[in-house]
Amino acid sequence: MPYPANSTTMVWNSYANQQASAIVEVQTAQSTFNVTGTGIVADIDTGVDPNHPALEGVLLPGYDYTRNQPNGSE
């Protein structure tokens, strides 16, 4: 998908195919713990662009642990 809109720049979305997946043995962990891809994964991050098309409809409200308040987005 292009980002920003109407540009020719494409968003890379092949996260499961990156080299780090093999290094940390993602497939082994998935089969060992019966991971089906239907769960929710949390990631503590320093910030994302909530308007990025690759993240549209997949972000959940966060929590700001530095300020101890809901709806963190930084």
> Each residue of 10-29: pLDDT tens digit?
666 666 677 888 888 888 98
pLDDT exceeds 60 at position 38: yes
CB atoms within 10 A of CB 33: 8
**44's tokens:** 């503590």
What is the pLDDT, as a whole number, of residue 5?
A: 67
Please tell me the distance from the alpha carbon of residue 31 to that of residue 68, in angstroms, as a whole number: 36
What is the pLDDT, as a whole number, of residue 46?
A: 67
Q: How much is the mean pLDDT over the chain?
A: 76
> Element (H or E) spanning 23, and its range?
helix 19-23
